[in-house]
Structure 1
């Protein structure tokens, strides 16, 4: 799809519910970030989807869905991912405003192998 085509689609389909749009955009962004995380950790560990799934006790199709952004792994599954690839994952809470300084010391939760 070209930018010109995308602009045309946006003009023909204006956003009518900004709150719903923002929520959907945030959810899609999170799914994409988690997809990149799963794919990156798997490939960095030199594993196939099947091997990662075996180590996590799940199915290859589940790993494929996470990597495509089709579904989001739960915190329990992210913990198992960290253990499967021998990394420590951290869940960090931060303000919505990206311009604010980040204090991750007391708002981080670590889980995984390290």
Structure 2
């Protein structure tokens, strides 16, 4: 898709609900980041989607959906991903405060390989 076509689509479909748009954008961003994580860990481990799925006890099509951003893996599946590729994953939660340091989370949980 070219930028010209994207601009045309935006003109023809203006955002009418900023809150809904923001929420949809945040969800899409999360899906994209998780897709990059799954793909990156899998390829770094030198595994095919089928090999990773077998190690995780799931299907190749599930791995493909996560890597495309078509579905989000659950915390349990992320734990199994970490174990499958021998990587320790950490989930960090923090309050959104633009004035605070990004390195000061209010909560952190580690899972996956030990």
Q: Do they superpose with TM above 0.5?
A: yes
Deviation at 1:98, TM superposition (A): 4.8
Does the residue aligned with 2:10 lie in a helix, a strand or coil? helix
Alignment of 1:60-99 (within 5 A): 60-98=60-98
Q: Give the 3-state SS of the residue equivalent to 1:47 in structure 2.
A: coil
CA RMSD of aligned residues (A): 1.2
Structure 1 ranges of 4+ moved more than 4 A: none
Shift of 1:94: 2.1
Instruction: Note the residue ranges of structure 1 that are not aligned, 5 or more in a row.
Output: none
Aligned residue number for residue 23 of structure 2 = 23
The Cα shift of 1:107 comes to 1.1
Aligned to 2:12: 12
Structure 2: give runs of 5+ residues left out of the alignment: none
Deviation at 1:34, TM superposition (A): 0.4
In the alignment of these two chains, the number of paired residues is 113
Q: Could you tell me which residue of structure 1 aligns to residue 113 of structure 2?
A: 113
